[in-house]
């Protein structure tokens, strides 16, 4: 059928890929294909005019009008000769090998029975999967060439289940096939359409008073369900560090990268980005070390050839970073219980917010968050803070208010070039708090 074309096409595609990458060799291709662990999985269709042959594992999630279990009198093979047991003195799992049954002892027989019971349990779980695949008719078959059917087999489980449910044996024959089947039937007598009025009235009086149905189920005689209220879709995730608005006001002047890099613009841009990454990395990891060793550690790390800084530049930048760590306004942020590079995600103001703060400290009465600005000069006053940064910190504050209601959220911008820490006032953050987008339900 057409299903066979899919694995053939995949095999030919693999042969072409091997031919393009390796010298042509049949043995090499077979070795390459065997170790590539490639597999072709075809999603089974929900239905079709065809017979599908599959295992119980492969039939999970599928359904068909007619399901046939062709061989149900066998048992799963269990020929394991290697068992694992716990040593009573050391508590270590040790292997126990039994090459043949004549050499088994009480311990190995007990281990064998335990594993066999687990195998039978898994076998019965597969029977449940097989029995629940049929939508209309299920046929359980078995062949018995002069041998006893094991009591743990699927056939015996189904037969005993029917007998306990009260099924009656009957003769059955179709063409050349004949035998005995178990039938379980239940007849429901149709209700009389011409019941006396007195009987109907009596039944109505005796019927319990039921609560009214909810409105969404509809009412007689049409029973048309009511449509649910339309919920507006949430806006796409808002990254506080990159707001969607373009008119966010001027930014403070950027620090010239020519101080630490070559003259070419490309190298200057790369040097500025590298310097910002160095500053953020040191502010993330230095607080975990003793204060007396922080400056020396920073200098040694910045003096590596990979940093691209000379020794005087590394010493100046290390002193600048240590000055940030020593600022009194940031004592709580660099405490041992504070968090660095903390990711935040949630819904605030009807918008999905996904971002990451450079430093955060959760305290019993307040939450402090800060963001480093290492590549730009600080504005003259806090009131002149760019709208871009105010929007960013206001989004973080709105999200943290939802996580810790009742606690004050303090937002701080740290300008590492001075250094200076600006605590953003509440009225500025309230003015730039995230607002629901058009068509979004808050």
pTM for this entry: 0.47
Q: How far apart are CA 63 and CA 318, in angstroms?
A: 68
Q: How far apart are CA 412 and CA 358, in angstroms?
A: 11
Residue 153: is its pLDDT beyond 70? yes
- At 246 the pLDDT is 43
Nearest-5° Cα angle at 296, 295 to 299: 85
Q: Residue 349 — left, alpha, or beta (φ > 0 → left; ψ -120 to 50 → alpha)?
A: left
Strand order in the sheet with 420-423: 339-348, 351-362, 366-373, 408-415, 420-423
24-38 residue pLDDT tens: 889 999 998 888 877
The helix (run of H) or strand (run of E) holding residue 425 is none
Beta pairing, strands 134-140 & 64-69: parallel
- At 253 the pLDDT is 65
DSSP state of 67: E
Q: How far apart are CA 343 and CA 160, in angstroms?
A: 58
Tokens of 29: 């291709």
Residue 285: is its pLDDT beyond 60? yes
- The torsion defined by the Cα of 351, 355, 357 and 362, in degrees rounded to 10, comes to 50
376-418 residue pLDDT tens: 678 889 998 988 899 889 999 999 999 999 999 999 999 998 8
**Gyration radius from the chain CA atoms:** 37
CATH topology for the 257-431 domain: Lambda Exonuclease; Chain A (3.90.320)
Q: How far apart are CA 426 and CA 412, in angstroms?
A: 11
């Amino acid at each position: 059928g057409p299903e066979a074309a899919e694995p053939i096409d995949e095999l030919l595609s693999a042969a072409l890929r091997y031919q393009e990458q390796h010298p042509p060799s049949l043995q090499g291709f077979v070795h390459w294909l065997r170790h590539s662990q490639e597999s072709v999985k075809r999603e089974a269709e929900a239905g079709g005019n065809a017979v599908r042959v599959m295992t119980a594992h492969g039939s999970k999630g599928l359904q068909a009008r007619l399901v046939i279990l062709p061989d149900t009198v066998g048992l799963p093979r269990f020929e394991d000769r290697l068992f694992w047991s716990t040593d009573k003195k050391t508590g270590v799992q040790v292997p126990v090998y039994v090459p043949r049954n004549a050499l088994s002892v009480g311990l190995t027989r007990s281990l064998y029975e335990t594993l066999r019971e687990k195998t039978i349990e898994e076998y019965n779980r597969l029977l449940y999967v097989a029995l629940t695949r049929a939508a209309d008719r299920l046929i359980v078959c078995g062949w018995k060439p002069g041998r006893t059917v094991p009591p743990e087999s699927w056939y015996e489980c189904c037969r005993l289940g029917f007998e306990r449910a009260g099924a009656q044996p009957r003769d059955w024959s179709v063409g050349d096939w004949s035998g005995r089947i178990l039938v379980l039937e239940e007849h429901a007598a149709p209700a009389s359409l011409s019941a006396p009025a007195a009987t109907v009235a009596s039944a109505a009086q005796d019927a319990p008073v039921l609560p009214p149905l909810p409105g969404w189920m509809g009412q007689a005689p049409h029973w048309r369900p009511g449509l649910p209220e339309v919920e507006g879709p949430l806006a796409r995730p808002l990254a506080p560090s990159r707001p969607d608005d373009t008119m966010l006001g001027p930014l403070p002047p950027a620090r010239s990268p020519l101080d630490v890099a070559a003259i070419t613009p490309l190298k200057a841009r790369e040097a500025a980005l590298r310097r910002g990454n160095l500053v953020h990395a040191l502010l993330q990891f230095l607080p975990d070390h003793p204060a007396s060793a922080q400056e020396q550690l920073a200098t040694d790390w910045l003096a590596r050839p990979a940093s691209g800084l000379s020794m005087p530049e590394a010493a100046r930048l290390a002193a600048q970073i240590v000055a940030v760590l020593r600022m009194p306004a940031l004592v709580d942020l660099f405490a041992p219980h504070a968090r660095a590079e903390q990711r935040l995600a949630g819904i605030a103001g009807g918008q999905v917010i996904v971002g990451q703060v450079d430093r955060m400290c959760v305290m019993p009465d307040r939450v402090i968050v800060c963001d480093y600005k290492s590549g730009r000069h600080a504005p003259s006053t806090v009131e002149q803070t760019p709208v871009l940064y105010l929007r960013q910190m206001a989004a973080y504050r709105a999200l943290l208010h939802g996580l810790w209601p009742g606690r004050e959220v303090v937002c701080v911008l740290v300008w590492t070039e001075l250094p200076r820490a600006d605590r953003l006032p509440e009225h500025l953050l309230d003015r730039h708090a995230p607002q629901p987008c058009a068509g979004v339900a808050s």
